[in-house]
């Protein structure tokens, strides 16, 4: 095994997929210590290149959820592609554990970017998942290296080719809540994958997207603006294996497509930080109103975790201000907030479609509190 995963007892799901109990996961990479802290988005806002890398990337669970066993297709059509999705061979959480265990290690150079000719087909496949056209979804996936299956009724799971480090995603058609729950640094920031799984289940979210690589796996720059000390002692440009800062990754394409196709959707981006206290933002450092999404989330998390400081990067009446870890260079946030070029251009304003949470380990270890706070904020 390329990573050592230390798991406490995992709770079971009921037949409807509702979480009874969840216990955090901690994953330690061979090439580095699992981090409690992250400087994920505290980098410079203008420290990167000027132009988006349109061709830039080289070609190249928490508890059991869903069905056990089964094939991934509904049988071939005249010897060709299947026409319907079959049940998954494992649960959503089982699939997440598998990609985390096989994930490219720190400085391994093993993250394999999505080929350029797979980007448009992957977006098409996500659209077909939302539309419920399984035959078209399967056909679209053919050049992407992804497979799709149903872990439970109403869910489609997109699994990457083994060992590539690409993201895993689950899409729920007809979601009760339009939350896109996101864990861009699932290995570097421990417990974020288990918190994401809890939120997706509790909220009946639109989608769950989990990174499949250590953020520092590759040295090649992503071309997106901003810098970080996450991968070195000195501040350096973001690298292509950092899913919060790469606009041509499968991770970002899942978000981009869902945000564009579902106008009422909101991305909830989960991160880990060291020390005490949480920092929440809307992806900017602009002032906001007391009824804005980030303000509601700050108040709700403070209710759930009264012993913890809950700071905000967006000034509003009664909010305590933080000056860092604000997610201003997060490309999913930039896209959600309407930036025309998420790789390099900040949005002109926030629009309540992005919630960035930097959580200390003490709060990540209490996923029920995070879930309740986000649910209250999304109302």
Q: What is the pLDDT along the chain (379 residues), one digit of tens a residue?
A: 444 333 332 332 222 232 222 333 333 333 333 444 444 343 333 333 223 333 333 333 333 333 333 334 455 444 466 789 999 999 999 999 999 999 999 999 999 999 999 999 999 999 999 999 999 999 999 899 999 999 999 999 999 999 999 999 999 987 767 999 999 999 999 999 999 999 999 999 999 999 999 999 999 999 999 999 999 999 999 999 999 999 999 999 999 999 999 999 999 999 999 999 999 999 999 999 999 999 999 999 999 999 999 999 999 999 999 989 999 999 999 999 999 999 999 999 999 999 999 999 999 999 999 999 999 999 8
Q: Provide the 3-class DSSP secondary structure of residue 303.
A: helix
Report d(CA 45, CA 320) in Å as an integer.
22
Q: Are 113 and 119 in contact (CB under 8 A)?
A: no
> Which stretches does DSSP call E strand in 253-333?
266-273, 278-281, 310-312
Model-level pTM?
0.83
DSSP 39-99: -TT-S-SS-S-SS--TT-S-----S--S--S--SBS-BSTTSSBSSB-B-SS-HHHHHHHH
- Interatomic CA distance for residues 86 and 72, integer angstroms: 4
DSSP summary character for residue 115: P
Q: What is the DSSP secondary structure assignment for residue 6, as one 8-state letter?
A: E
Residue 355, beta-bridge partner list? 268
Q: Spell out the alpha helix ranges (H) of 292-366.
A: 293-304, 331-336, 361-364
Joined together, the tokens standing for residue 105 give 């290690």
Q: Each residue of 190-214: pLDDT tens digit?
A: 999 999 999 999 999 999 999 999 9
Cross-strand partners of 267:
180, 354
Other C-beta atoms lying within 10 Å of the C-beta of residue 289 = 11
């Amino acid at each position: 095994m390329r990573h050592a995963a230390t798991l406490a007892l995992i709770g079971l799901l009921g037949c409807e997929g509702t979480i009874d109990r969840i216990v955090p996961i901690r994953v330690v990479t061979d090439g580095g210590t699992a981090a409690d802290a992250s400087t994920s988005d505290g980098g410079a806002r203008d420290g990167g290149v000027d132009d988006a890398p349109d061709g830039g990337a080289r070609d190249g669970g928490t508890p059991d959820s869903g069905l056990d066993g089964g094939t991934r297709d509904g049988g071939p059509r005249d010897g060709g592609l299947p026409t319907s999705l079959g049940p998954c061979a494992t649960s959503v959480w089982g699939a997440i554990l598998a990609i985390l265990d096989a994930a490219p290690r720190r400085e391994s150079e093993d993250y394999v970017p999505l080929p350029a000719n797979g980007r448009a087909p992957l977006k098409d496949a996500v659209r077909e998942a939302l539309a419920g056209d399984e035959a078209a979804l399967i056909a679209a996936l053919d050049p992407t290296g992804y497979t799709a299956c149903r872990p439970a009724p109403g869910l489609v799971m997109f699994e990457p080719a083994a060992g590539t480090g690409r993201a895993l995603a689950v899409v729920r058609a007809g979601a009760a809540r339009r939350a896109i729950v996101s864990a861009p640094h699932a290995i570097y920031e421990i417990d974020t994958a288990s918190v994401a799984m809890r939120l997706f289940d509790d909220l009946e979210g639109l989608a769950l997207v989990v990174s499949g690589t250590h953020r520092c796996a590759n040295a090649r720059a992503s071309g997106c603006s901003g810098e970080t000390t996450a991968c070195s002692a000195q501040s350096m440009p973001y690298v292509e294996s950092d899913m919060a800062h790469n606009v041509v990754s499968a991770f970002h394409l899942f978000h981009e497509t869902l945000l564009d196709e579902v106008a009422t959707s909101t991305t909830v981006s989960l991160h880990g930080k060291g020390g005490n206290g949480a920092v929440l933002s809307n992806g900017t450092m602009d002032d906001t109103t007391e009824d804005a999404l980030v303000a509601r989330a700050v108040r709700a998390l403070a209710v759930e975790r009264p012993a913890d400081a809950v700071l905000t990067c967006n000034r509003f009446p009664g909010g305590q201000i933080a000056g860092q870890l604000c997610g201003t260079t997060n490309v999913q946030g930039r896209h959600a907030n309407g930036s025309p070029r998420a790789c390099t251009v900040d949005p002109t304003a926030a629009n309540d479609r992005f919630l960035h949470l930097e959580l200390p380990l003490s709060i990540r270890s209490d996923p029920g509190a995070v879930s309740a706070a986000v649910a209250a904020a999304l109302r």
